[in-house]
Every structure is written in C-alpha cells, then in structure tokens.
Structure 1
C-alpha cells in the first residue's frame, strides 16, 4: 500500500512551546495508544481551522498571536 502524500513543515518553537506539546501529547496518550507531538500539531491545526470557519475564538487567537514573537517565514 503506498504511503499518503504529506507535506512537511519545519517551524521554530520555543522551549516552552515544546514543553506544552510534550505535555499535551502525554495527556492525550493512553496505554493503548501513544500520541506524538506531530499528531498534537495536526489536531490543533484542524481545531483552529474549524473554529475560525465557524467564526469562533478569532479575537482570542489574534490576541495570542499578538503576544508572541513575529514569525520568521523567510
């Protein structure tokens, strides 16, 4: 069976954000299934996109982004 085509994205995150990812993956994991940090990121992307599509939490997300350092997308 061929693998799914996936896009790879590299981002720079802070130590605090990495710790949050690790903790969230641990909390979502169970003895039957370990959740990876990549899965947490994919889940967050889907959740944010769904909420924005429904017009929810837009100002909250903007406020969080205003508190963080600007992205270096170059």
Structure 2
C-alpha cells in the first residue's frame, strides 16, 4: 500500500509558541503513544476548521491573530 502523500509547510514560530507546542504534545502523550508537535499542529488545524464550521467566531480568531502580531512571510 503506497504511503499517503503529505505536503510540507514551514512556519516561523516564537520560542513561547514552541514551548506551548511541546507542552501540549507532552500532555496529549501517554506511555503507549508519544504525540509529536507536528501531530499537535495537525490536530489544531482540524479543530479550528471544525469550530469555524459550527459557529461564527471569525472575528474572535482574527482579533487573536492581530493581538499576537502573527505575520506570514510567504
């Protein structure tokens, strides 16, 4: 069975955001299964997309992004 093709995305994050990713991965992990930071990011993407489909929280998320001074260097 061929491997599932995946796209790679590179983003720049702050040390604080990296620490949050690390802590979240640790908290989601169990002795049976370690969760990677990449898996946390994929989970977050799915969760945000689902929540946006269920409600109108776009303005709240935009405000959060503006407050964090998030920029995309693409």
The CA distance in 1 between the partners of 2:63 and 2:40, in whole Å, is 21
Alignment of 1:11-30 (within 5 A): 11-30=11-30
- Work out the number of aligned pairs and report it: 74
Any stretches of 5+ residues in structure 1 without a counterpart?
A: none
**Counterpart in 2 of 1:51?**
51
TM-score, normalised to structure 2's length? 0.89
The residue number in structure 1 matching 2:33 is 33
RMSD of the alignment, in Å?
1.3
The residue aligned with 2:63 is 63
**d(CA) in 2 for partners of 1:26, 1:57:** 28
Post-superposition offset of 1:43: 0.3
TM-score of the pair, normalised by structure 1: 0.89
Q: CA deviation at 1:56?
A: 4.5
